[in-house]
Amino acid sequence: MKKIICFAAALATLAPLAAKAERLHIVNENKKALAVKVRASGDPLTEELAEKRVTIPQEHFFEFTVSPADLNGKSLYDIIGDTNPVTMGGTCKNLRVEQKYKIVFTNDTVGTSCIATPMD
């Protein structure tokens, strides 16, 4: 069973971990709400991978922090965004908790695309 961390509870635990965590700047360019899942990188068949979920309103900018504590001590993660369970969701893979990113989810002909750009 995957460990799902409630977004509100996760925010309360982030203050002491700020030195190792970086903020994500997420832009949802879709005309629908976006279900976002942040999942620790690894093999789901052999590991219990931590997840963090949040819903971002349509055409909206959102920020939150991902820390190693959110990922059961891991430093690499994937972020998946989806507006519809029937179409393909967009995935940005192998992101590092030590790096700040601008993540843009866009609508395309086959579903949602994810574009991650490192920020200074």
Q: Where are the domains of the chain?
A: 4-119
> What is the pLDDT at residue 108?
86
> What is the pLDDT at residue 85?
82
> What is the pLDDT at residue 7?
36
> What is the pLDDT at residue 40?
95
Exposure string of 4-31, with b = 16+ CB inside 10 Å and e = fewer, is: ebeeeebeeebeeeeeebbebebbbbbe
The 10s digit of each residue's pLDDT in 56-88 is 999 999 998 999 999 999 999 999 999 988 888
Average pLDDT of the residues in 45-57: 93
The 10s digit of each residue's pLDDT in 14-41 is 434 444 788 899 999 999 999 999 999 9
Strands 51-56 and 4-5 turn out to be: parallel
Q: For domain 4-119, give the fold.
A: Immunoglobulin-like (2.60.40)
pTM: 0.78
